[in-house]
Structure 1
Amino acid sequence: MRLPSPPAIVPLSLLFSFTFFLCSSFVLSASRNSIYRGASLSVEDHVSDVLTSPDQSFACGFYQVGIDAYSFSIWFAHSNIKTVVWTANRDQPVNGRSSRVSLHRDGTMVLTDVDGSIVWSTNTTNKNVDKAELLDTGNLVLKNLSGDILWQSFDYPTDTLLPGQPFTRRTRLISAMANGTHVSGYFTLFFDNDNVLRLAYDGPEFSSLYWPNPDYTNVFQLGRTKYNSSRTALLDVMGRFSSSDRTNFFASDMGSGIERRLTLDYDGNLRLYSWDNSTASWVVSWLALPRQCDIHGLCGRNGVCTYTPIPKCSCPPGYERSDPVDWNKGCKPKFTRTCNQTQQFKFVELPYTDFWGYDLDYQEQSSLEHCRELCRAKCSCEAFVFGLNGVGACYTKASLFNGRKAPSFPGTIYLKLPKSLDTSEPSNLTISDLTCGFSKVGNQVGSSNMYGKDNKGRTRWIYLYSFIYAIGAIESLFIASGWWCLFRRNKVKISMEDGYRAISSQFKKFTYAELKKATKNFKEELGRGGSGSVYKGVLEDNRVVAVKKLGDVIQGEEEFWAEVSMIGRVNHMNLVRMWGFCTEKTHRLLVYEYVENGSLDKHLFSSSDRSCLLNWKERFRIALGTAKGLAYLHHECLEWVVHCDVKPENILLDSNYEPKIADFGLAKLSQRGQSGSNFSKIRGTKGYMAPEWTLNLLITAKVDVYSYGVVLLEIVKVIRLSDWVVVDGEHETELTRFLRVVKEKIECGGDSWIEDILDPSLRGQFNKKQAAAMVEVGISCVDEDKSKRPTMDEVVKILLEIE
């Protein structure tokens, strides 16, 4: 019997082959990196109708920026986070229907809106363009048949510079208006007419240069030069940035194989980002201004930028928000300013607050009363700044822009307000629009924005001004910064801190032979700790230094160089200054300034030398200065530093018994590659360690607060609170016993307990109010619940009130 043939088998095989061919064709089409003359990309197929670089790193096509609004953009394509790096029409988005970008047969690439109007074009008519191609560098280029580039997106950056993309006198970066939007904002990176690379704010009411620090009268003090007129800069694939004006920096994770971008963010800070594959997020590997409030224009006219602890904008007394969602419009007065001679004024004091620029007059050796009358007599005077390190400097102000408040500012501003104005209720309307983070958290950018049409048919943007910009573990690095002391032949002028003067850091890389010679073969040991030994040395320029030999640092040379450069960038009067480092073979050494009076523990616990005992003023100065140093690290946009080992041995005293915190940043040197809150082992010294270490809880800056609390109580009591004692047959620490005794005495009422618990060697010579406050602050700092501990910024404010 004849069997019937299975006719369905052959057609099924053909169908499978045909289906496979279609799928393959689709994949090939979806991953194309070029289009030829006569072809186009359609907004209606914006998900699939894109160009993709051969290595799949970048994509180019229509990017949604709002409801039915699109831009022609290039973005990183390695994840769901579409990080846009270039936009052709950032301020004029096109409609979500019928818009397209086409490579015309005359060689011009054109973006058209729904009505056929041309929104953007390359102006490459009759240049023999053959195709548009997206390269692995993220550069969109137009090429002829010979492969020559006739046009490239690299010549027209928006807010981002990619590795290999030249930055010239003809290009500039312009920030976005707000987080998550792509509309042009007010901040610009550009080469100025003097050939110097600068950052500037150009807002609705005023313009101002803010980087490099405008208080430098000479850019040579910053290591810059004006005399190279080529005006070119480049970020390379290793993460190194170099400029013709000698603006040089590099990523803290410098090396090949890492995707990077240099972006001028919406908040005016220039940041270098690196892509972290392990967390699938962007991390900051360098930034121009570690202290966010140094950026001009953030809070608009009359607004004040303050650290609480993250940077926030607020309105001073007598002022209120001009716009509830836009800090660029600043604050408006609640009164009408007139020049009527009959109007009476009062002056409201804002400590540690400054408004940069717009000085009417400047006088040294002035009195507060004279400065007040100077401002009162001038109709144009809106406020005056007085103080500045005790020199009696007086600045009267014609306008109030670029306000900032920080514990490190040594002056006070006095607002000129009508006497009848009620300022009893503070006007602190704040919004978290300026942020800097503690942990190494990825920054997700590219959230959609809403667009609409006004009655004139112009495209406008509407955005929710809610900033959730969580940046992590700012591992920034600089070679030079700080405060400049201006020297004259016959007179030394005291520097005006925090924005008035600065000095170059003189940070350098030493050879091992140099340091061996400077220390006379490491002859004089100053101290020894868990991280290494410290030796006294004298450099060739006669600077006395302390050279620290590190023990457990395992980074390679480039990583170590990046880390110590970052630490060397930190400059505060209450932090030990790092002058440089050495990394040769297995040698890892740090070079610090030499601090004359040694460490605090020798002055607190040295029973053999009674001359080392500190008087009350010195103790209070040490408590306040140490708090200021830690507050600087924790709150002024430098939260990447958690000391992890605050103790008397790490608090050094200079010739005036001003404290300087040592060994900050060493925890990071041993924690390369870890997130900011994860530590591979317990750090710190027994007796000063917060409970979080042993309970395996999240490590934050509050561990330093706990350690500071122990030190503060030791300054008051002058005993080692970490020592163990036996009470009623039970073992407990001196700290536990001290806290129990003090709390019992406080509960009894009165203030007689103060003298009972203080160091008896003071013989009653102390300030009772300060002593009580120090004990109370110390007790709150060592609370086992870290959420109940104050921040270091709050500690500084408490101590300053009783100074």
Structure 2
Amino acid sequence: MDAKQNLFFVPILLFFLCFSTTCHFSFGADSISAYRSLSGDRTIVSSGGNFELGFFKPGKLSKYYIGMWFKKVSAQTVVWVANREKPVTDKYSSELKLVDGNLVLYEKGTEIWSTDTKLKSSSVVAVLLDEGNLVLRNGSSNTTVWQSWDYPTDTWFPGGYLSYDKRTNRTQIPTSWKNSEDPAPGLYTLEIDPIGHQFLIRWNRSRQIWTSGAWNGQIFTNVPEIASGSIFNFTYISNNHGDYLTYFFANSSAYIISRSVMDYNGQIKQFGWLPDQQKWSLFWSEPNTQCQVNAYCGAYGVCNDIFSPLCNCLPGFKSRFEKSWTSGDYSGGCQRYMELESGNAYTTGRKADIFQIHSHMKWPDNPQAFSAVNAERCKSNCLSNISCTAYAYYEKACFTWNGDLFNMQQLSVDDSNGRVIYIRIHSSGSSKNNKGIIYGVVGGSIAILSVLLLIAFRRHKSGIATVIERAAEGTMVAFGYKDLQTATKNFSEMLGKGGFGSVYKGTLPDSTVIAVKKLEGVSQGEKQFRNEISTIGNIQHINLVHLRGFCSQGNKKLLVYEYASNGSLDSHLFNPKKDESILPWTRRYEIALGTARGLVYLHENCRDCIIHCDIKPENILLDSFMCPKVADFGLAKLVGRNFSRVLTTMRGTRGYLAPEWISGGAITAKADVYSFGMMLFEFVSGRRNSEQTRDGKVNFFPAIAANVIMGRGDILTILDPNLNQVADVEEVTNICRVACWCIQENEHVRPTMSQIVQILEGVVDVDMPPDPRGLQVFIDNEDDIVFFTDKASSSNLHIQSDPAWASSFVEEQYTNKKTQGSKIQECESD
């Protein structure tokens, strides 16, 4: 056979080989026409390769669906399902095709699903767009007659929308999957509320379990992070036609694989794909805690959103659907081992039901209250009513519950909201349960012993450390010290060191990369530490580093954070290793804005105002999208209210401390504003504020910038030389003006972080700032000038014109000063 014959037969051979093996066919096109259809493994792919459409089988189910998924994501992530209520059993005997202008799914000739467009046209074509939208277009007019965005499953894309059309009374309602493996409609929906100009999460299409709060023209009042995130811009429009909510990438030139999901666990979540780590990263979620989701643990389930598992059955109860329960679907709830019997115990002769006491609980929903002489009378009242399932006696009032109990939560012993409740069970239910417990203890002991022997054997053979249980999404994990020691290879790779401790890189057994901070000087007890951690762990914002877990064993206190692949901001500002590491001005501006938004959330949107106390470039981390994330927030609370040790350690990063640290005044959120302002100057210059030249002189950049701002020079001449004066003059001017306002000696003159965000967003203008008194010494080049007044001694402090000496003097004054008690003022958000 000659070469020409080989060239002829090779394609034919490959063709037949495809049918002898399992091959995946794609049309190499983004559309289905009247002459093409989808069946078996055939798919279509959007023109830019972002999305793919075809048959898929979720999880372990044996049924198939027509769906859309991300083409460029390694783990198949389905974002839209056509026939979610009617799956097919065989994808090879099923076909998706166009019939008389309709896109129809057939299985063995039977219609399963249809777009029901009723166009009756042969020129219609189905096109899969790169935005994740499947559309039907009339070829003759090229108009869109149907689109999948109008019929969302559980996912909402950038550019997509939630809407309510007043003319047709029609809404787009993303509905959760039934569970992680079943795309059938679940219990939770995301809906527009045109009356309140907000969006809601509803349970079972009836009960509202969460609201975004009203749109005020810039943000939703309860979700500032989604309107103030540095990656997306949200827009809400309300007019005579209806209400319309959408979001887009803030940087139109960037494309990030992202999705917003109405999750089957009742939370709306926004994810971004991390290509370097090959996993989804959670940007934000609402409600913040899982236990806030209505009926998440089902009837008689008790929720605990700090530790795994999230849901447990009460003693005397067992999971109603064991298979679903073990897979993480708790909605089925729990049931008694022995059901209650009707009839009065005194007349039937059976033993009376008993009540089990449960302390530190959040009560179930819908109690009935009435006055009672004592707890015994309250108990008798419940016992006499067969439908009464629980009672509580509190402050001379009796509370009873009839029917199933929902939304119970186990609280910590220090939580003042914890109450005592008595749950009713059958008189023999406890003994049966105890018998089961005995069997369970014996069997469990044997199993545990076997596991321990196996672990010991494996450690002996290969030195494998204890496997770290992977955190359930959205929950915190209590790690063992040895686990983190293994994950970090005995803390061998240090990422950085700060006033609160050192940070090390680690890797969990599931290949998740983490950052582990070893805290120094933590004097809190176990319970207090865990309570503080639970508070910080529940704080989620796109511009705040996410806390994954912690370790607390004796004096060993460690925090486990998400890993930011692009490191800290200082490495990009001050020590760029290559040209690609140099941050362009547009990126610096975005990072400044994102950092400000994160601080707004800490100062104004948390239950308690959280003052960072250590804002500096080292504590601003950058993820794979170069999105800024404020790190170490809340650590000031963890190490205690005496900051002298921390500030003494901060000598290496001097120059960010507000004057009130030295003057003895109360420390408020305005101390963070001062530090932020000093950091803004470094965004402009690309170097430390205080820098010594080769001839021994010291340049203090804030003084130089203030001098230029007052009209004594060209603003671009003070820009980082690496930028080659490529920057927006108005933006550079605004940042320098904001920075000068931030570092005013009088904290009442400084703006709030929310005002700073409005300025950087261009919503409001910034006026010419007064000369900062602390910089006047450098601007006027005087030898001796008042820097600030020491309120404690009522004497004026004088600082020489050497900025390095000034910084040392300030720190020395603080170190020598003996202040008593806390300097932080706790503040409640509005």
Taking structure 1 as the reference length, what is the TM-score of the superposition? 0.49
Taking structure 2 as the reference length, what is the TM-score of the superposition? 0.48
Higher helix residue share: 2
